[in-house]
Amino acid sequence: MSDDEGFLRFEGLPPMSRQAFQLHSFALVDSVQRGTPGFVSDDYLGSIPAETSVAAIELETAGLWTRRDGGYFVNESSMLNALLTFREEQDATAAVCRERGHHDPMEDGDWTICATCGVPLERPDGKPVGGADGTPPNYDD
């Protein structure tokens, strides 16, 4: 990656602004977490406190995003495939903890994480943690 005159260059991707790259990356992660891999909804874009329309237009102009009803379809597959592979691995390790009925606590600085599935079990910021019965954190509340 290089950064000249505010544009980032990644192998296999057109040059893009830092804002467009961040939006592309975060939106892809969110699309996988929502169970709609590769689809960036207008609701998601509207939920971001920063201005996103310029970056979205940049991504559309670059051919990475295509307008669809209610959002954008992402045309770039390498990052999406990496995220999906990571998600499948996470799902497999999460199943180990659920079936075992407990996590495997491991100290990591101020945090305690599960050595098997990697979910936080104690964290200083008060955000959701995995359940004592091996369930993953509930991020929906």
CB of 134 to Zn ion, least distance (A): 6
Measured from the CB atom, is 54 or 95 closer to Zn ion? Answer: 95
CB of 26 to Zn ion, least distance (A): 25
CB of 30 to Zn ion, least distance (A): 23
Measured from the CB atom, is 53 or 139 closer to Zn ion? Answer: 139
Beta bridge partners of 73: 39, 66
Report the DSSP pairing between strands 71-74 and 65-68: antiparallel
CB of 2 to Zn ion, least distance (A): 39
Measured from the CB atom, is 57 or 95 closer to Zn ion? Answer: 95
Measured from the CB atom, is 64 or 129 closer to Zn ion? Answer: 129
Alpha-carbon gap, residue 44 to 9, rounded angstroms: 25
Measured from the CB atom, is 24 or 103 closer to Zn ion? Answer: 103
CB of 94 to Zn ion, least distance (A): 7
Alpha-carbon gap, residue 138 to 27, rounded angstroms: 20
Binding stretches for Zn ion (CB under 5 A): 97, 103, 114, 116-117
